[in-house]
Amino acid sequence: MPETINVYLGIDLGGTKIAAAAVDVRTGERQVQLVVPTEAHEGPPAVITRIASLVDRVCDQANLRREHVPAIGVGVPGVIDPSSGTTLLLPNLPSGWRGVPLVAEMQRLTGRPTAIINDARAFTLAEAVFGAGRGMHSVVGMTLGTGIGGGIAIDGRLYLGLDGTAGEIGHMTIDPNGAPCGCGNRGCLETFASGPSITAMGLRAVAQGMTTQIGELVEYDLNKITPEIIMRAADNGDGVAREILQRAGSYLGVGVANLITILSPDRVVIGGGVSRLGEWILGPVHAEILKRCHVTPLNRVQVVPAQLGGEAGVIGAAVWAAQTSGTWH
């Protein structure tokens, strides 16, 4: 079946949604994409069964026989053991999925070779091969959301380090004496510039009675404060909101500057929900890079927004399946 041999299944497992697509890995085009709720409270076995039946539905709609799918790739939001194909910790899913044999279960249920990859690494791979890093020698990917994830791709292949964790850029130390991070360290980049940390800065400003519109914009229901609300206040000229975004963007810029100094990459590709704050965040990032990088030829490094949007996850997972199943050239 030469027509279908390049079509792989890519899955993006999230805390609230599972997306699955049939992806032509020569072009990055998705033939069919379906999304279902994760229903993570039902536990790993039920969720894995749901993923497997989603695979069947995607195959049906793409007119693809499951046995003609060369391999399935699954992007997961957390830490995995690539050698055993188990999840070690998915912090946003109930129970944390410690030691769940995801690869073995998927292969048992679908009969197809399966590969798993961290979701930020899948994002990086997709952007490096088909998105904003296409054709570039070296690409650093960053996803700014609930956490800060990332990845490093060289010539369209991920650099994963010893155990798959290379690219965990959210956990680089930015302030040695900073606030505790969920990983066990203090002052990680994630504690300064993730969605929840930006929200927390807005909350604190309102709670401290600072002169800001942030409280007013959520009618003083402080649970409704989000980075987007803070951006709206900043757009309206709110000085406190502008300072919060400036602060988050500057810390992020310190992190990006460190990456540029270490890797001298062709492209740094920034995606994820927080990146929608646009210039409020990217402006300070660029300023910080100029201030801090003095040995790298900055005229050759581009820091750019992601191009593939929310679809990068499924595309990257499919490419990962192709690259690890030995059919990628």
Q: Are 308 and 277 in contact (CB under 8 A)?
A: no
Q: For strand 138-144 and strand 148-154, is the pairing parallel, antiparallel, or unpaired?
A: antiparallel
Q: Which is nearer to Zn ion, 183 or 222 (CB)?
A: 183
Q: Which is nearer to Zn ion, 34 or 183 (CB)?
A: 183
* In the complex, least distance from residue 257 CB atom to Zn ion, rounded to whole angstroms: 19
* In the complex, least distance from residue 92 CB atom to Zn ion, rounded to whole angstroms: 15
CA distances from 163 to 32, 80, 84, 254, 324 (A): 32, 8, 11, 26, 15
The residues binding Zn ion (CB under 5 A) are 171, 181, 183, 185, 188
* In the complex, least distance from residue 264 CB atom to Zn ion, rounded to whole angstroms: 25
* In the complex, least distance from residue 248 CB atom to Zn ion, rounded to whole angstroms: 16
Q: Nearest to residue 47, comparing CAs of 81, 14, 79? A: 14
CA-CA distance, 220 to 101, in Å (whole number)? 45
Q: Which is nearer to Zn ion, 178 or 305 (CB)?
A: 178
* In the complex, least distance from residue 251 CB atom to Zn ion, rounded to whole angstroms: 13
* In the complex, least distance from residue 89 CB atom to Zn ion, rounded to whole angstroms: 13
Structure tokens, 173: 């130390």
Q: Nearest to residue 10, comparing CAs of 277, 313, 260, 292? A: 313
CA-CA distance, 120 to 275, in Å (whole number)? 14
CA-CA distance, 169 to 247, in Å (whole number)? 18
* In the complex, least distance from residue 215 CB atom to Zn ion, rounded to whole angstroms: 30
Collapse the DSSP code of 274 into the 3-class scheme (helix H, G, I; strand E, B; otherwise coil) and give the result.
Answer: helix
Eight-class DSSP state of 180: B
* In the complex, least distance from residue 99 CB atom to Zn ion, rounded to whole angstroms: 22
Q: Which is nearer to Zn ion, 170 or 313 (CB)?
A: 170
In SS3 terms, 135-192 reads as: CCCEEEEEEECCCEEEEEEECCEECCCCCCCCCCHHHCECCCCCCECCCCCECECHHH
Q: Which is nearer to Zn ion, 93 or 188 (CB)?
A: 188
Would you say the C-alpha torsion 245, 247, 248, 250 has a positive or negative sign? positive
Q: Which is nearer to Zn ion, 183 or 200 (CB)?
A: 183
Q: Which is nearer to Zn ion, 132 or 148 (CB)?
A: 148
Q: Are 21 and 51 in contact (CB under 8 A)?
A: no
In the numeric block, the tokens 């679809």 are attached to: 311
For Cα atoms 51, 85, 315, give the angle at the middle one, nearest 5 degrees: 55
Q: Are 82 and 160 in contact (CB under 8 A)?
A: yes
* In the complex, least distance from residue 182 CB atom to Zn ion, rounded to whole angstroms: 6
Q: Which is nearer to Zn ion, 185 or 264 (CB)?
A: 185
CA-CA distance, 22 to 209, in Å (whole number)? 51
Q: Which is nearer to Zn ion, 32 or 201 (CB)?
A: 201
